[in-house]
Amino acid sequence: MNSVEFWLLMIAIFILILISAFFSSSETALTAASDARMHQLSRKGDKRASLVKNLRSKRDVLISSLLIGNNAVNVLASALATSTAITLLGEGGVAFAAIVMTLILVIFAEVVPKTYAFNNADNFSLKIARPVKIAVIILKPFSQLIGFTVSLFIKEQRDNENSREEELRGLIKLHSAGGDFSDRERGAMLSSVLDLRIITVEEIMKHRSNVVMIDYNTDYVSLIDKVQNSSFTRHPVFSGKVDNIIGVLHVKDLLKKINSTDQINNKNYNEINIGSMISPVYFVPETTSLYDQLQAFRKRREHFAIVVDEYGDFRGIITLEDILEEIVGEIDDEYDNTLPGLSSQKDGSWIVKGDITIRDLNRTFDIDLPDEEASTIAGLVMYESRSIPLPGQEFRFHNLRIRILNKEQNKITSLRIWFDNNNQKD
């Protein structure tokens, strides 16, 4: 072998190694590129981003084409190197060529280009989109043939909706876990949006025991007194028994009626008829998901609904604000207290009302109490203890120490909690 042939072979091997590096880096860049950024750039008119999206939409063809090209040039480069080594060194050249080519291909055709492509995935994928598209078109017949052969042995498994949702949840936790308070808040909001299809109305509704209701037959003085002492603007109106809800009274409608009575009847308030002010009742089953209820509120242009169980009995109320608070956290106005029913003590413990929801406690203290079997802290205590506790009894579960403070009939009204990292004795 003369020197010209030798250098021509060296140049050919060098070019093949560069092509191998191109295929390796292209595979890494196009699989690691951000879908969100490519989508945004594509909307702004970037043709390269549109090309990247098109390539990624047919990922099986893309990957198989790049692998075919990469392996083809690697085999060809190794064959040329082995042939040259045998010519120069004899039979011993086979081992020499194998060792040298393995090191060169691993370092310069795999590790280095893939590392660079991974660290610059978005920008690099935009640069190589067009040549990769050409390579995919050329190698597509071989890719389809191989894909058909593989399909004979392995059945394709498509990602279902649950697996995609779990992947999204994982990404949210990954990006928010190591961030600051603002990052964690954003992560909690995004996770809450995904939870809307899982959480039911029953889990966040205001229980009937805490709903300010109005008797249809109440007199004017009692009506005004009840409305003034309430922080709510809408009140269910019942007739006879509490479960017989016949309408909803909005404070604004009451004010309008009072104003018109002032002008027409010279403040003859006894003539005010509740029936002329109430609006129709919107009933929803307690098993409705928050997502479905949110869509129903939007469609009906409603903000308030009465929650009933499978027997049609009154369970509580749900509002649009309740659902929004599940996403963004508590929305306080001038009449709200910060998580009513929760007060800190000097020893580090907390006095908690029994009807505070577990989801509110989890959000407030950044803890993870289970809410599958109970929606309130009182319900969780009863579920874990398998009993109706008496005042003074204490329990330990889920990294909490809990003491029952007050009970009315079979209802736990208040309790005291300590966290494991702050278990002071009083």
Q: What is the pLDDT of residues 237-269, one digit of tens each?
A: 998 888 899 999 988 888 887 777 554 455 555
Token pair belonging to 372:
């599958």
Token pair belonging to 196:
């809307």
Tell me which residues of the chain have a pLDDT lower than 50.
Answer: 263-264, 334-335, 337, 422-426
Residue range 201-324, CATH number: 3.10.580.10
Look at domain 342-422 and name its CATH class: alpha beta
Distance, C-alpha 380 to centroid of its chain? 25
Distance, C-alpha 384 to centroid of its chain? 28
pLDDT in tens, 23-38: 999 999 988 888 888 8
Nearest to 74 by CA among 124, 13, 149: 13
Residue 228 phi/psi, 5° resolution? -65, -35
* pLDDT score at 267: 57
Residue spans per domain, the chain: 3-157, 162-195, 201-324, 342-422
- The C-alpha atoms of residue 414 and residue 391 are separated, in whole angstroms, by 9
Instruction: Provide the residue count of the chain.
Output: 426
- Cα 75 to Cα 20, 68, 152: the distances in Å are 10, 11, 26
Question: Strand, coil or helix: what is 347?
Answer: coil
Backbone torsion region of residue 383, taken as left when φ is above 0, otherwise alpha when ψ lies between -120 and 50, otherwise beta? alpha
CA atoms within 13 A on the CB side of 140: 9
Token pair belonging to 96:
């020499």
- The C-alpha atoms of residue 298 and residue 373 are separated, in whole angstroms, by 30
Q: Any idea what DSSP says for residue 233?
A: S
- Cα 229 to Cα 211, 222, 224, 232, 335: the distances in Å are 13, 11, 9, 9, 11
Residues 20 and 109: beta-carbon distance below 8 Å: yes
